[in-house]
Chain A
Amino acid sequence: MNGPLAARGALVGPLGRGGGAADPRVVYDPFTGADGTMLYNHTPDKAPPGATWSYLPINGDPNTLYLRSNRAGTVDYYLAVVGAIIDSGIADGTIMADITVANSTGAANTGLLFRTASADNRWQFILITNPSGAGTGSVRLIERTAGVSVVRATTNADVVPGSTYAMSVALAGTSIVCAACGMQISFTSSVRSTITSHGIILFTNSLNGSYADNFTVQP
């Protein structure tokens, strides 16, 4: 665990104990449940009425995203990029999760989805490991609109395969501020999105899968 994870624990911990303050979270999912439960059959701890996880067909199939050791995880045995989103009811706010990068020596497109309507209309903030397997990698903000992907910003970051990172995206109108690995990316979009579905994107290969935990959306 790195510093940002501990810092976020300090934020959500007292709320979870019901210390009197209203819980601001509109979605919270620690992915607790029986191993093998498909994510689309899993109910978050907190979500707007009727909101459920839905699979996003990026490059995989729905049965490759399920609960593993009380986390959202993927299979180990073939190359895929899988995603899932849930309608939080808010387009502006902060999306957070603890993301474990695949223990891979190749690029790992793993992280957060936000303001996502479909596989071809989505934003993603992802961790990328160095293809050489060394610690240095990058964090990257990508917009995909009408099936066209554009990298909007990137910065080098120490992304170690197999490690867990607290990732967050703060959305306020056209402002997008992403943070992970002690690095921050700021971007101003030309379009103010009102899409309220956010989620996770996980990469898997023949070596190992990646994981998400403590997915949170709050104003």
Chain B
Amino acid sequence: MTATVAPPPAKVPEPKAPRRPSRVAELLRNLMTPWTLIVIGCSVVVIYLTVIPLWFLFQGTFAGENGPTLDGFRRALGTGSDMWGMLGNTLVFGVTSTIFSIAIATPLAYVLVRTDAPFKPLFFAASLIPLIIPGVLYTPAWIFLADRDIGVLNQLIFEPIFGEALLNVYGMPGMIWVHGLHNSPIAFLFMVAGFRAMDPSLEESALVSGASRLRIMKRITVPLMRPALVASGLLLVVQGIESFEVPALLGLQNGVYVLTSRIYLATHQYPIDYAAAGALALILLGIAALAAAFSAWLVRDARHYQTITGKAFRPRPIELGRARKWVGTGIIGYFIIAAVLPLLVLVYASLLSYYRPPSMDVFSTMSLDAFREVLAMSTVESAVKNTLILGIATATIVMALCAIVAWGVARTKVPGRNGLDILTLTPLVIPGLVLGLALLFVYLRVPLPIYGTLWIMLISFITQHLPYGMRFSMAAVGQVGQELEESALVSGASRAQTFRRILMPLMSAGLFAGWVYILIHTLRSLSTIILLYSPGRETISVLIFSAVQNGDYTVVAAIGVLLMLLLLVLVAGAYKVGVKYGLAKDE
């Protein structure tokens, strides 16, 4: 097949140009290569997806009856609203929970990828459990574990032993604990991908040269992981400052307010104050842009972090020796705290008629009624189907799109590429309601049969998950040495071939991690879906929403348990396929 299309080996002489070639023509010829067109095409798609809601946000914020106005900002920052206090809380929450997530996830990922630690097969799927539990359940699970009055841990462990309830899940420390634990899988996925792509010989040579393990960690390992650290840090910080679930449940009770509480106020009053909500979202956007610029500066010397180079390497697991049992204990401890305890609470809650702390009386009333109720819902079958279609489609499209765009941002010198990078972060801070309204506005008017179908939901999901796809892709591109591409090009491969044959396989660990994350995250997205879905096109999050509305927490818990089983099967299956197609194995 290649024979028919391959160029003849003989050199075709260039036709003599009668006059000087026009520079425009030359530029055009450079631009017209298929690869350039693909990169430009993908970038245009990303710009299209992000600019529409952004334009809506700006318009809603600044448009007044008599031309542009700053009234939205005035109302948002209005007198007596304690802006600085809220801003401070927002930043403390976002940054500290990020540090916490990364501090837990990095050693875990290192141990999984680089050592002979025990329990590895359990590891990958189990590490995702906190991610799979929807926030609407994970936070209440922690209330049921560590509330002073009704918390199981306080009642069963701390009160009998210490005489008082020592755990208190409310306030800033509790918020950081719960949010940090819940999101540690994001950092974990980044770090696993990063460590897999790292040449251990660098550490080995340091070891041979007499450096201590700690010193190696400090001078070699952590610096080399900078792209993954920075990418996950950026994502987590931005996600932290825009999240409301944890601050709403754990902060409000202690009077800890964050900026998103004010967005809540603006969108829950009558009439909805889009301008004030937009102004606050733009402030968040400003913080996100600063964070993005800072993170770009942190990894400015791209070549320093390229650990996948022309030199072949074979990761050899470090033998832990006597430390092995301590590491094993640590791993088990993490899973008990981050996954097993919340999961047990969930299973426990799903067996009750309404949630209450455990007692003999409670155990005698347990039943499977909540599961029966879920399975009897008329919409459950189509909801599972729609959720899976949307989740798989979103994860695949976003990762394909972002891998290409990330190449453009990381490897070219095109002006504006950093702006594109920041643009992909914006969906994270745009309130879901604004994104939904923007999509409604556009697709109600374009003459395409998209409105009222899964397509519009897919478009909203793709938009919302661009920030994740882009971060995972940027981290993955950042570790692949440019010389590999350069040698492929020198050997006559095209850019497209290089991307497909060299870069994609080398990025596969990072891309797969992003794919898994997005697939799981789509299950939790609700705010825009509630505007865009139509009957027959419900997703699982819509079912959860209506159960929450009704106060049926045991049903919500049952949905959560079933969801977890479904996702574990799915992720395990995807992982198997991934291993078959060259994804590095852990064993």
| A-B interaction | no
B residues within 8 Å of A by Cβ? none
